[in-house]
A and B are shown apart, each in its own frame.
Chain A
Amino acid sequence: MIFSFDLLFEAVLFGVLLGCFYAAVSIGLSVSFGLLDVPHVAHPALMIFGSYCAYVVAGWGLDPILAGVVLMPAFFVLGVLIYRFYYETFERRGSDAGVRGLAFFFGLAFIIEVGLILGFGVDQRTVQAPYIGSSWVIGDYRIPYRMLVAFGVALVLTFCLSIYLSKTFTGRAIKAVAQDEPALRLMGANPVRIKQWAFGIATGVSALAGAMVIIVGPVEPAMDRLYIGRTFCVVVLAGLGSMTGTLAAGLILGISESIVLMMAGASWAPAVAFGLLLVVLGIRPQGLFGR
């Protein structure tokens, strides 16, 4: 392996873009798991489902990003329904909710994955767009346009969600319900409706995230397994409940993965997210900015 600063710089650059992408796909989990404490291991599966939906909608002639945006309301509703079901079946009954909730989402992830295999087959799917396939060339470096697009969408998404959570009434209520549910109840707000709204938002965001996944690269049904590592790594590294931490954590993961990819090749890259996750859990489980 020939080490050169040029290669390293390019890897870091790519890692920054990749990192923002990872942050964006993890934001939904930041809300559903980080704030709402739902053991949502099916989040990546829903996101990949979103990728396939974007693939179908983009196949009707729409730009993939637009496809993602168009899907957001439907996914919002899906999220509300899922949370409602989860709450009524598990959280309400209290006892054993932890094990059964985890088992439920695990089963759900598998059902989604197999559903996608039955519907689309195991082959990879891609989308077409003017910005996919070409790169921006600056000097000796090539930056793929699709990564810039994902980077841009990621920033916008993170920014919008952060503003929403800190400036709007419902947004602040969502953060409040994470910190002090009894107090919220005393103020007259209904925590369940707030949580279900938040979960809906998290799932809606996943639709757009899924569109970005298929823009950044081809998708296949089993990809959700890999993304369990990436999204949970970002959310845990950030610290549960921290939105801005998600960006920082995403960058750390993206750059690490990119450097490992450059130095050791694609057969080692999948382990980076999982490895980083284990390190965080072992050394500092509350993450960088956790509550």
Chain B
Amino acid sequence: MKYWISVAVFLVLALAAALSGVNEYVFYAGYIVLTFVVLSTAWNILGGYAGYVNFGTGAFFGLGSYSAVVLFKALDAPLVVQIVAGAAIGAALGFAVGIMTLRLRGIFFAIATVAILFIMETLMVNWRYVGGATGLQLLRPEVMAPFGSYTRMLFVVMALLAVIAISVARYIQVGWIGRGLRAIRDSEEAAECSGVPTLRLKLFACVVSGALMGAAGAPMPMYLSFIEPASSFSLNWGVSALAMPMIGGTGHWIGPVIGALLLGSIQQIVTVTISNEINVLVVGVLLVLFVVLAPDGVVGLFRKWARRSSR
């Protein structure tokens, strides 16, 4: 119950902020941070809960973006339809990759996600309808009242998506599915011999993860008024979506959120004040530091500190 109250409060605050006179930049940056909340939460459902690492978050995210563009260009589809389509296509891609490689060891799945990423990029580079390598400029439709700008509206949309993603992750984690995924992560062979349908559960996690990533990608072209393959399908999305849960903590749904808020904010600051390259360096260094020194992430550190101070 506490959870749903917090959710309601968060959404009300987000809406109120969007309708207020707060600086436009807050929403510009906030949208990106919220996108990362969705991506890292989605990543964690397969990576943190089940232990299967996805390097190719960009493939699902970018595919969501491109399907939104295609629907917008061909059918003038509204944002809601774009998002649902993004989720559906992300789910389909998750199923396809999963059925092909989740029977194999974790590293093969990871490499397959990189392969999908590059193949998607190559396909879009060679597809003139969506602008090929140079990309496409997009004309946004009229902004829906009561929002003052498109960015503010997208901010609220992404806040809603973030709530959906976190709620899904929480539901999975707390229930019997979560226990099964954790068993798979701890010892897949023992899980299978304890009655856990490992392939099915992994596929399920992969499909849900892919759907959320695809949904997160759908509003992106509208946010940028632009789409192009190189940035949509960049491996950088992958390293962020992986680093944020690993830094925040992979065992609990709050971990990716903490990681996304922390790292996402740091990224915004560094990119604006220093450079984009240093930004990627910071992500890489923080990832390695946490993986080596604090494997249970911020959540783990907090738990240790709580245990120590209760003595």
B115 proximity list for chain A (CB < 8 A): 229, 274-275, 277-278
Q: Which residues of B contact A285 (CB under 8 A)?
A: 104, 108
Give chain B residues whose Cβ lies under 8 Å from the Cβ of A99: 47, 51, 53, 106, 185, 250
Q: Nearest chain A CB to B84's CB is how many angstroms away?
A: 27
Q: How far is it, in angstroms, between the C-alpha of A257 and the C-alpha of B107 when the chains are bound?
A: 24
The reply to whether B280 and A110 contact each other, CB–CB distance below 8 Å, is: yes
Residues on B with beta carbons closer than 8 Å to the beta carbon of A110? 239, 280-281, 283-284, 287
A117-B281 Cα distance, complex, nearest whole Å: 10
Total residues of chain B contacting the partner, CB 8 A: 43
A225 to B121, CA, bound (A): 13
Q: With A41-B110, A107-B291 as given contacts, are A278 and B281 in contact (CB-CB < 8 Å)?
A: no
Kindly list chain B residues whose C-beta atoms are within 8 Å of the C-beta of A115. 281
| A278/B122 contact (C-beta < 8 A), A108-B288, A111-B285 known | no
Interface-central residue, A95, A98, A99, A268, by most chain B CB under 10 Å = A99
A153 at the interface (CB under 8 A from B): no
Chain A minimum-CB-distance residue to B104: A285
Given A96-B295, A103-B287, A106-B239, verify A271-B106 contact (CB < 8 Å).
no
**Interface residue? B55 (CB, 8 A):** yes
The answer to the question of B235 belonging to the interface, with a C-beta cut-off of 8 Å to chain A, is yes
Across the interface, which residues of A come within 8 angstroms of B112, CB to CB? 277-278, 281
A111 touches B281 (CB 8 A): yes
CA distance A117 to B295 in the complex (A): 28
**Interface check A289, CB cutoff 8 A:** no
A228 and B122 contacting across the interface, CB-CB below 8 Å:
no
A72 within 8 A of B: no
Is B242 located at the chain interface by the 8 A CB criterion? yes
Q: How far is the CB of B247 from chain A (nearest CB, A)?
A: 10
- Closest-by-CB residue of B relative to A285 is B104
Q: How far is the CB of B187 from chain A (nearest CB, A)?
A: 9
A267 in complex: contacting residue of B107, B122, B235, CB < 8 Å: B122
State A226–B119 Cα separation when bound (angstroms): 11
For A275, the chain B residues whose CB sits under 8 A away are 115, 119
Is A100 located at the chain interface by the 8 A CB criterion?
Answer: yes
Contacts of A102 in B (CB 8 A): 53, 106-107, 110
- Inter-chain CA distance A107–B289, complex, in Å, is 9
A232 interface hit (Cβ, 8 Å): yes
Can you list, as one digit per residue, whether each of B178-209 has a CB less than 8 Å from chain A (1) or not (0)? 00000001100000000000000000000000
| Chain B residues closer than 8 Å to A198, beta-carbon distance | none
Hey, which chain B residues are within 8 Å of A39, CB to CB?
A: 106-107, 110
User: Per-residue 0/1 for B291-308: is the Cβ within 8 Å of any A Cβ (1 yes, 0 no)?
Assistant: 110010000000000000
Seed contacts A39-B107, A113-B280; 7 additional CB < 8 Å A-B pairs: A41-B111, A96-B185, A99-B53, A107-B239, A114-B284, A232-B111, A274-B114
Q: B: which residues have CB within 8 A of A?
A: 47, 51, 53, 55, 100-101, 104, 106-108, 110-112, 114-116, 118-119, 122-123, 125-126, 133, 185-186, 235, 239, 242-243, 246, 250, 277-278, 280-281, 283-285, 287-288, 291-292, 295
